[in-house]
Structure 1
């Protein structure tokens, strides 16, 4: 496995300089761990299989990462602490600072912006691992909430208030609206990542239309 392949395999992690300090061997181990965790789930994976797939000795895993949990933390922690907040900041500054002509265009912007990440195979693998931990680990959920930039909540509140004032959105509490968005969009994301359902263009549009209908006054 060459350096070019390794660089391509990390994609969203490399874009945020998460693994710059790792050796090629350590990067191979992390890449193999991402593959195995995504394919089999954390509970059904072993350091022996990860080492074999990485072409490294199992002792290399223990010396750098300690154990299987250490490997998982090396993948998840940067996503929670750096990648996810960076994505949220970028979304808040580029998509939540404009006035949308309709509720449909606002929902479409939210959904399509996030779904772009799934077009990169390894992004989907990392997101699948992250989503699994988000579901099963209260600690990860607490970290995610703590790492959401305050700017996001401020601009999201402002955008929702603007849509309600213009009569384009139901006059519900903003937390209730965001909860509905999370449930509906998160459910689709989960079905794609965890149950290998294909996200077609039609499916994405149906999701956008369903959320738009639910939030239309």
Structure 2
């Protein structure tokens, strides 16, 4: 089990909604489920494989979780409610609370911040990326817990740069969407392709090209 996963589970144990710590078997089951779901995806995973990886009988899983989907939700829902929103905002605060002279310098800091976040929490985030589009319960959690808080903070930043004349007069939500889709495209391609052995990837060039693309489209001529 990686240090990253252990860090996530230490937080889950501390922030359980009922204030109760998980049993040792529950913790082992969830840790095994994270590994299996991240490797194979939810649909291709089996409770028998999760049980084997956790070192418990398959029946033990069903004593704690009625279905495989309950097991998935027990991982992702508390992670989003208790961890991702605070972690995203805590990490973002390093960027959002700083003062930047231009939107370009803000973007560079934002990209560095998100890359570091992905490195620390890859397995659980991989599960969320894989499963959120296919489970309405997770979509609702993501919208209510994560997006609402992040968009509010980013909206204030965008409005500030617009007032200073750095950005064109589009709705802040539109600027956030266009910026986020471009930055996320760069970060994910960098993570899943650029860091592969033998990949042809000039990271500084790609990063600056991403920033220049956003500024040409959304920035004002100074």
TM-score in terms of structure 2 length: 0.80
- Partner residue of 1:137 out of 129, 135, 138: 135
Q: Distance in 2 between matches of 1:134 and 1:190?
A: 17
Q: Distance in 2 between matches of 1:21 and 1:156?
A: 34
Residue aligning to 2:35: 35
What are the Cα deviations for residues 142-189 of structure 1, in whole angstroms up to 9, with x where unaligned? Answer: 221211486644442221111112222222111101111232233345
- Structure 1's 116 and 204: CA in aligned 2 closer, same or farther, altered over 3 A? farther
- Partner residue of 1:210 out of 204, 210, 213: 213
CA displacement at 1:141 relative to structure 2: 2.0
1:14 aligns with 2:17: no
TM-score in terms of structure 1 length: 0.81
Residue aligning to 2:113: 113
1:175 aligns with 2:173: yes
Whether the aligned pair in 2 keeps the contact of 1:107 and 1:212 (CA below 8 Å) is no
CA displacement at 1:208 relative to structure 2: 3.7
Q: Distance in 2 between matches of 1:205 and 1:137?
A: 36
Q: Distance in 2 between matches of 1:133 and 1:107?
A: 28
- Unaligned runs of 5+ residues in structure 1 are none
Q: What are the residue-to-residue correspondences of 1:45-84 with 2, within 5 Å?
A: 45-84=45-84
- Structure 1's 110 and 43: CA in aligned 2 closer, same or farther, altered over 3 A? same
Number of equivalent positions: 209
Residue aligning to 1:147: 145
Q: Distance in 2 between matches of 1:32 and 1:91?
A: 27
- Structure 1's 43 and 83: CA in aligned 2 closer, same or farther, altered over 3 A? same
- Structure 1's 190 and 8: CA in aligned 2 closer, same or farther, altered over 3 A? closer
Whether the aligned pair in 2 keeps the contact of 1:111 and 1:208 (CA below 8 Å) is no
Q: What are the residue-to-residue correspondences of 1:158-173 with 2, within 5 Å?
A: 158-173=156-171
- Unaligned runs of 5+ residues in structure 2 are 196-200
